[in-house]
A = this chain, B = another copy of it.
Amino acid sequence: MTDPHSFNPSRLPSTGGRSDTRLDHYVDSYAQRTHKMTASAVRSLFSVANRPEVVSLAGGMPNIADLPLGKVGNLLDELIQRDGARIMQYGSGQGELQIREQICEVMAEEQIRAHPDDVVITAGSQQGLDLVTRIFCDPDDVVLVEAPSYVGALGTFKSYQTQISHVAMDDQGLDPDALRQVVTSLRDQGRRVKFLYTIPNFNNPAGITQPTERRREILQVAEDLDLLIVEDNPYGLLTIDGEPLPAMRSMETDRVIYLGSFSKTFAPGFRVGWVLAPHAVREKLVLAQESATLCPPVFSQFAISEYLAKHDWRGQIRQYRDMYRERRDAMLQGLTENMPQGTTWTHPTGGFFVWVTLPQGVDSQKMLPRAVTARVAYVPGDAFFADGFGSRHMRLSYCFPTPERIIEGTRRLGEVIADEMRINEVFGITDDHRLHSNPTPGPSPDIS
């Protein structure tokens, strides 16, 4: 089983896919956009890191081992016997009404009040991103993202030939003043800014959450500048400390397109996510969905609908929270015990990821082969920037391995970093990091 959130270092943007163009009869026939598609975005983790002896802190696969498989199997069996000819048939391009109603209940957990008419089902939340970009972005339009931001979103935005501008974060997430500055500056240059893409909860990869007041400030800037916001919230219900915060969409209905997913709160294999959008935008999304797939996976929608109706899904989410809390705690404990001085990291209150800043002179991308040799894997930070920045950072995930493996992973990683630092000391630091254009390029990490 491969992991789409992971990262294949043999396919970096700089060389991605170009090596075999000599053999490609069609190299001159591809669309412009195809040259922007690189495998760095989302690709199975290099095979060696999938070997059982390697502790992978790289992947973003949710841990679904605790799902009640017996019950799910029985539910689907009964559902097929009862209604098979309907749930295996074509469905609505917008998605089935039944699950759109239930999704409104799910979103109510984050204080969103929505009408099922405004929900469009997608083949996973990634397709929501794809369709939103499709309907809004012409080549060279600007999309704003956090610095750093989700690698899969960057890949999609690039594939539509957009320009990606990063907006600085601090320890409360996206910086509203930086946002105002970036938008104003881009518009002064005559650029068309199409939307801000933000992950308010447990940012992937930064592990930082916008407090409620910060969300209001960002919405105020959006209001002042007439800016559309795409709020991506796959992890919102997976809080570890405290209760879910109100979604941006709960505070503002007309300016926010909200992306949701069952991949982390139930299971990703059904590929069911959704977009909640202002009504006129929703119409365009349905047209785009019909053109893309006719209709999103029908059987999957009924399967999840049945699960939501017949199983204590809130209880399942509480169970997930406890399980991820144990892993998050192991990660933080392991980092405290094992990271060499000068290393800092964020303290996530939910979600899957910790963002690590390495000591001066240590390059996460260059170090990766040595880390894998030492049987630990991570995602180098530059994957989460569109502009080559980030090599002093890395993303560590605690979602999948056991707590013991997580601690062992940080121990191995600590040794690899310490080795790098010793090599730098002996041979001199070869600090060739490219500088980032933003004043505050990465999140201000929580020093630990």
Task: For the A-B complex with A21-B280, A123-B293 known, give 15 more contacts whose Cβ atoms are closer than 8 Å.
Answer: A17-B284, A26-B278, A26-B280, A34-B284, A34-B288, A37-B288, A64-B89, A65-B85, A88-B267, A124-B293, A126-B294, A159-B287, A269-B298, A271-B295, A271-B299
Known contacts A30-B135, A42-B294: A84-B67 contact under CB 8 Å: yes
In the complex, which residues 4-62 of chain A have their Cβ closer than 8 Å to any Cβ of chain B?
Answer: 4-5, 17, 20-21, 23-27, 29-34, 37-39, 41-44, 61-62
Question: Among the listed B138, B228, B296, which residue makes an inter-chain contact with A26, where contact means beta carbons less than 8 Å apart?
Answer: B228
Number of identical monomers bound together in the oligomeric complex:
2
**Chain B residue nearest to A6 in the complex (CB):** B90
CB of A445 within 8 A of chain B?
Answer: no
Whether B287 and A17, one on each chain, are in contact in the complex, defined by CB atoms closer than 8 angstroms, is: yes
In the complex, chain B residues whose CB is within 8 Å of the CB of A81? 69-70, 73
Interchain Cβ contacts under 8 Å between A and B, 12 examples = A26-B280, A42-B93, A43-B290, A64-B85, A88-B267, A90-B269, A126-B291, A126-B293, A126-B294, A152-B290, A155-B291, A159-B288
Question: Among the listed B23, B24, B80, B89, which residue makes an inter-chain contact with A69, where contact means beta carbons less than 8 Å apart?
Answer: B80
Question: In the complex, A270 Cα to B27 Cα: how many Å?
Answer: 33
Whether B290 and A32, one on each chain, are in contact in the complex, defined by CB atoms closer than 8 angstroms, is: no
Question: In the complex, A141 Cα to B28 Cα: how many Å?
Answer: 13
Question: In the complex, A294 Cα to B90 Cα: how many Å?
Answer: 22
In the complex, chain B residues whose CB is within 8 Å of the CB of A61? 89-90
Give 1 or 0 for each of A294-310: 1 = CB within 8 Å of chain B CB. Answer: 11111110110000000
